[in-house]
């Protein structure tokens, strides 16, 4: 707690068992909250860092709660460290390099609206022509082998 929040009763108070920065940090008349944290709560060296403390200065409670909503089971969808066969790896790289480049080139224009979403079907059709189904199949086979261990 000392590392992350400073001294209880001076730089933070416990409210419902959660540390909340005091006015010395959040409403200091002589400096902004970041400078006050540097002065009173500065971390030195290694150790556990409570990153939620940053949210107190940068976010309202609703946006802080939204982190937990959007992060729920966030790691559950991460692909485990699968291994492809030598043949699969060669084929995968040959296909995926071009697919990745194409997707990267098209993503920002779709998001920014410079490429109309009316062309999205053509985008996915191009991915099919680039053999995205085979890329998925290779990944699925590698995943199935991993899960069968």
Q: Is residue 114 part of a domain?
A: yes
- Read off the pLDDT of residues 17-34 as tens digits, 9 standing for 90 and up: 888 889 999 999 999 888
Total domain count for the chain?
2
- Residues 98, 140, single domain; the answer is yes
Q: Is residue 37 part of a domain?
A: yes
Q: What is the pLDDT of residue 40?
A: 85
In terms of residue numbers, what domain contains 39?
2-62
Question: Are the beta carbons of 84 and 142 closer than 8 angstroms?
Answer: yes
Tell me the whole-structure pTM to 2 decimals: 0.54
Q: Which two tokens stand for residue 149?
A: 């261990």
- Read off the pLDDT of residues 31-54 as tens digits, 9 standing for 90 and up: 988 888 888 886 655 556 666 655
Alpha helices in 74-149 (DSSP H): 86-112, 120-129, 132-148
- Residues 57, 9, single domain; the answer is yes
The number of angstroms, rounded, from the C-alpha of 46 to the middle of its chain's C-alpha atoms is: 22
Q: What is the pLDDT of residue 82?
A: 92
Q: Is residue 133 part of a domain?
A: yes
Q: What is the pLDDT of residue 99?
A: 98
Q: How far is CA 147 from CA 80, 82, 83, 88, 138, in A?
A: 9, 9, 11, 17, 14
| Angstrom distance (rounded) from CA 98 to CA 1 | 49
Helix, strand counts (H, E) of the chain: 8, 2
Confidence bin at 13 (pLDDT 50/70/90) = very high
Taking 90 as the threshold, does the pLDDT of residue 86 lie above it? Answer: yes
Q: Which two tokens stand for residue 114?
A: 């410079």
Q: Which of 15, 46, 62 is the last residue of a domain?
A: 62
Taking 60 as the threshold, does the pLDDT of residue 55 lie above it? Answer: no
Q: Is residue 127 part of a domain?
A: yes
Q: What is the pLDDT of residue 10?
A: 94
């Amino acid at each position: 707690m000392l590392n992350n929040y400073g001294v209880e009763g001076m730089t933070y108070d416990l409210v419902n068992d959660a540390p909340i920065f005091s006015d010395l940090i959040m409403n200091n008349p002589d400096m902004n909250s970041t400078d006050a944290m540097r002065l009173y709560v500065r971390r030195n060296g290694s150790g556990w860092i409570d990153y939620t403390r940053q949210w107190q200065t940068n976010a309202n409670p609703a946006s802080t709660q939204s982190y937990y909503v959007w992060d729920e089971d966030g790691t559950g969808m991460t692909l485990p460290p699968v291994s492809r066969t030598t043949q699969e790896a060669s084929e995968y790289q040959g296909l995926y390099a071009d697919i990745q480049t194409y997707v990267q080139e098209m993503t920002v224009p779709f998001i920014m609206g410079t490429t109309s979403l009316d062309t999205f079907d053509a985008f996915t059709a191009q991915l099919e022509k680039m053999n995205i189904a085979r890329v998925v199949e290779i990944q699925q086979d590698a995943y199935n082998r991993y899960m069968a261990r």
